[in-house]
Structure 1
Amino acid sequence: MSRPLGVILAGGLATRMGGGDKGLLRVGDKSLLEHVIARLSPQVDRLALNANGDADRFAEYELPVLPDPLPGYGGPLVGVLAGLDWAAGQGARSIVTVAADTPFFPLDLVKRLEEATKGMTHPLALAATPRGQGERTKSMSRTGLIRHPTFGLWPVALRQDLRVALEGGLHKVVLWTDRHDGREAVFDTPDDPFFNVNTPDDLVRARKLAEAQS
């Protein structure tokens, strides 16, 4: 197995959209989740979906559905842990995560993340963009870049370390990645490639972008 496995994070609460599964919202002739699958599947060996609740609602996508392995809502890091546990059972060395509500992420995401981690014993990296792109919901690094914590390359070898950190109350992605000297893969484009659908207005914008690209 030469490439990472892919894990789509869909375990959020979607409070600004009124709850429910954002990934099932329609953008053009596809759901958000279909857009994400189409972009990620060519970049990885196989895919799984991190989501909680009744897995049957995702049956049409024919993907393994991975519930959070820890109780309560622990944020995206718990979804990462779910993916790492699954990957360990598949004999994989790493996973790449993406968000289920981000339909236009880069087609070379995995390649760029892997390039950023060359030489690392345990490859760990987050996607990042220059300041000014996506600042409303993103995390700034020490280098002044905006990190996108749901888009990362994660080593299976650190899954038990992550589990212990989560059980100890750590939930902020960048605190854990900084602890392990995680790197950044920088994507410098005119528009934010990690634009995600958080609100009804975002959904309108996503539909316009999809129409312009079709």
Structure 2
Amino acid sequence: MKQPLGVILAGGQATRMGGGDKGLRLLGGQTLLARVEARLAPQVADVALNANGDPARFAAMGMPVIADSLEGFNGPLAGVLAGLDWAAAQGAETIVTVAADTPFFPCDLVPQLLLASEGMAHPLVLAATPDAKRGRARHPTFGLWPVALRDDLRDALNGGLRKVVLWSDQHQGREAMFPDETAFFNVNTPDDLAHAETML
């Protein structure tokens, strides 16, 4: 399998952060987005940013900005679809998505997702971590997605599906377990941003 392309999902509305682009908030003197891109880029063939609105505000990042292809706010799966459409135009087979507000995700995210996908006709794998209450917690914005299923995903979204895990389960999606749940700590509120400063 060819090396996946990377897509940073930043299409959310950031309501708990007071609106605006969470990814452009500073953490230790760098934007969250810059930290996420620096962690993802060595693991993939190329990186694009999924974000809606005027792409010029991300010009300093120097990466392609791809908007959701579906109207309205359809959640992370719409960003996954935009990434798959972009990847199809590049002749890629798979993408790996990460969230723009999760700066500490594992440096071996992509290798572990690929390892978990071995033998699958359509590699579809979500990151997961141990969870004391539920046994495991899946992280639906962190996944390996096959370009071959993009039209199926488009149909599902047009049919009203919004939950990542429902679509993943329909296609016998697997999980890649990561031992450290704090690696997927995401910055949703100003308090989270302050906590992330202490984690640095």
What is the CA-CA distance between 1:2 and the residue it aligns to?
2.5
Partner of 1:145, secondary structure, is strand
Query: 1:26 aligns to what?
Result: 26
Query: 1:180 aligns to what?
Result: 171
Partner of 2:184, secondary structure, is coil
Of the three residues 143, 146, 149, the one matched with 1:155 is: 146
Percent identity, aligned pairs only? Answer: 67
Q: Distance in 2 between matches of 1:28 and 1:200?
A: 14
1:145 equivalenced with 2:132 (yes/no): no
Q: Distance in 2 between matches of 1:99 and 1:203?
A: 15
Query: 2:75 aligns to what?
Result: 75
What is the CA-CA distance between 1:182 and the residue it aligns to?
0.3
What residue identity is the alignment partner of 1:122? H
Moved segments of 4+, more than 3 Å: none
Q: Distance in 2 between matches of 1:147 and 1:4?
A: 21
Give me the TM-score of the superposition, normalised by structure 2. 0.98
Query: 1:168 aligns to what?
Result: 159
Query: 2:51 aligns to what?
Result: 51
1:200 equivalenced with 2:190 (yes/no): yes
What is the CA-CA distance between 1:54 and the residue it aligns to?
0.4
Partner of 2:111, secondary structure, is helix
Q: Deviations over 1:122-167 (max 9, x none)?
A: 00000000014xx8xxxx6xxx310000000000000000000000
Q: Deviations over 1:67-116 (max 9, x none)?
A: 00000000000000000000000000000000000000000000000000
Stretches of structure 1 that go unaligned for 5 or more consecutive residues are none
Query: 2:94 aligns to what?
Result: 94
Q: Deviations over 1:12-47 (max 9, x none)?
A: 010100100000000002100000001000000000
Stretches of structure 2 that go unaligned for 5 or more consecutive residues are none
What residue identity is the alignment partner of 1:170? L
Q: Distance in 2 between matches of 1:208 and 1:27?
A: 10
How many residue pairs get matched? 200
